[in-house]
Amino acid sequence: MAKEKPLSERQQNILRFIWGYVQERRRPPTIREIGGSVNISSTSVVNYNLNKLKDKGLLERDADVSRGLRFTEQALAMFEDVGETVAETVSSAVDTLVRVPMVGTIAAGQPIDLPDTGHALYDDEDILAISAAMLPGGADKLFALTVKGNSMIDAMVNSGDIVIMREQKTAENGEMVAVWLKEDDTTTLKYFYLENPDTVRLQPANPTMDPIYVNAANVEVQGKVMMVMRQTA
């Protein structure tokens, strides 16, 4: 792309006019309509300026057709910065969401049923949407479970709470995970620490409660807890 000079005032006015015209009439303007709006009486001056805007990467032109103008993505981004259309604003807002399927429940006495790959099959009402900033790492392998029973109070998790998890078979120290304790037939949500190759410390979220130490062979990591949500109304 040619090295860019700033847009002239006339060129800015042309862009604004084209934008407004497209919003209102759902088609691009003609050379003569553009000229009329910015007080250019000659079609060749309009043509010259449109070619400058094309050189600057803001317009595409189709030759030898009527109304052969189109904004480039760069130009559309420029207009988005100004926030001029609801549709584009909306579209960019949705890019900042992740959509998490509600796939079932979690209770102490059974391992989690992990979801099948992908969740395009879920109905909208089984999808929980939330700001992506709340769930770093993107939407990959996320699912949500509803908690049944009071057995996870040590994790500061109540019955009825929603736990959002990311499928994961191993854990890093300090991560909150769902683990299935094979000998106890129990699922628990706790912070994971590998004390030594044989021993795992599982630390409750409630800081007033003591950790438990279990044999590493007894621990089956089922997922990383990304978020807990409690509806209170």
User: Pick the catalytic residue: 41, 148, 169, 190?
Assistant: 190
Helix (H, G, I), strand (E, B) or coil at 125: helix
User: Pick the catalytic residue: 8, 44, 141, 151?
Assistant: 151
Identity of the residue, 10 or 132, whose beta carbon is nearer to its own copies in the bound complex: 132
Find how far residue 13's CA is from the centre of its chain: 35
182-221 residues in contact with its own copies (CB under 8 A) are 205-208
Residue 151 annotated in active site: yes
Identity of the residue, 77 or 217, whose beta carbon is nearer to its own copies in the bound complex: 77
Q: What distances in angstroms separate CA 202 from CA 112, 144, 176, 210, one per listed residue?
A: 18, 22, 9, 9
Identity of the residue, 172 or 183, whose beta carbon is nearer to its own copies in the bound complex: 172
- Enumerate the H helices of 118-214 as residue ranges: none
Helix (H, G, I), strand (E, B) or coil at 78: helix
Separation CA 157–CA 165 (nearest Å): 14
Q: Which of 4, 12, 23, 32 binds DNA (CB under 7 A)?
A: 32
Q: Which of 8, 74, 170, 206 binds DNA (CB under 7 A)?
A: 8
Residue 54 annotated in active site: no
* From 51-59, 107-115, 119-127, 192-200, span contacting its own copies (CB under 8 A): 119-127
Q: Which helix (H) or strand (E) holds 42?
A: none
Instruction: Provide the Cα torsion 152, 103, 139, 162; round to 10°.
Output: -30
Identity of the residue, 150 or 215, whose beta carbon is nearer to its own copies in the bound complex: 150
Residue 64 tokens read as: 């030898």
* From 47-55, 179-187, 213-221, 225-233, span contacting its own copies (CB under 8 A): 225-233
Separation CA 113–CA 115 (nearest Å): 6
Residues that bind its own copies (CB under 8 A): 22, 25-28, 30, 62, 65-71, 86-87, 90-91, 93-94, 96-97, 124-125, 127-131, 133-137, 150, 153, 156-158, 166, 175-176, 205-208, 224-233
